Amino acid sequence: MKTAVIAGSTGLVGKQLMYKLLECKDYQKIIALVRTPLQIKHPKLVQLTVDYDKLDQYKDQMQGDDYFCCLGTTMKKAGSKVAFYKVDYTYAFEFAKIASENVASKFLLISAIGADSSSSVYYSKVKGELEEAIKKLKIPEIHIFQPSILVGNRLEFRFGEIIGIGVAKAISPLLISGLRKYKPMDVTKLAQAMLNVALQKETMTLKTWSYNEIMSII
């Protein structure tokens, strides 16, 4: 029986993943890092209210086997490059560092297609820098998921994103062969893939999962 630690449990993927973890018989405890308490009660759920700017203070309360990082924002929501970097790099890396110090078995990260530290696109550059930093940590298994556009029910209305998802769905049938990695990804499928990977008995030191690999594990 394992303990899972999840950061970003209120997000689009994180919420789906948390519910799946709570239903999974292989986990006896789910530690969810939250800024404010969630309106959910479950005997396996431990809500740990944290200040992400002081995450190291909660290290001893974050002991677990598998760590899931679903943290992420958008440039528009963050409001600036500095604020975006704090969430998508600093908070995520601090979470990964604590996982390493707590002798995690697995670390599973949601990144993005096109993540590249040398990219001229700031979003992709930050994602790439985060991936490189996490790969250097001493964690037996690191799994990086690189979905394209995520499709799911968001709490907030994002007109531009809705248009983008609509276009992506329309051209999805045309995305074949090497272009399949750009297909939109349903958040429930991504959450299921992350859970399935965490439950795998086969040891993979480092694995990056793009669209084809994600769909193959569901």
| pLDDT score, position 204 | 84
pTM for the predicted model, two decimal places? 0.89
Angle between helices 122-135 and 92-101 (to 10 degrees): 10
CATH number of residue 202's parent domain: 3.40.50.720
Q: From first to last of the 218 residues of the chain, give the pLDDT tens digit.
A: 899 999 999 999 999 999 999 999 999 999 999 999 999 999 999 999 999 999 999 999 999 999 999 999 999 999 999 999 999 999 999 999 999 999 999 999 999 999 999 999 999 999 999 999 999 999 999 999 999 999 976 444 444 444 444 544 554 454 455 556 789 999 999 999 999 999 998 888 999 999 999 999 99
Instruction: Please tell me the distance from the alpha carbon of residue 218 to that of residue 204, in angstroms, as a whole number.
Output: 17
Number of independent structural domains in the chain: 1
| pLDDT score, position 153 | 67
Q: Quick check: 46 and 52 in contact, CB under 8 A?
A: no
| pLDDT score, position 86 | 98
E strand map for 13-161: 27-34, 45-49, 66-69, 106-110, 141-145, 150-151
Instruction: Please tell me the distance from the alpha carbon of residue 171 to that of residue 95, in angstroms, as a whole number.
Output: 36
Write the pLDDT tens digit of every residue in 157-195: 444 444 444 544 554 454 455 556 789 999 999 999 999
> Which structural domain range is residue 18 located in?
2-217
Residue 122 to residues 89, 112, 119, Cα–Cα distance (Å) = 12, 12, 7
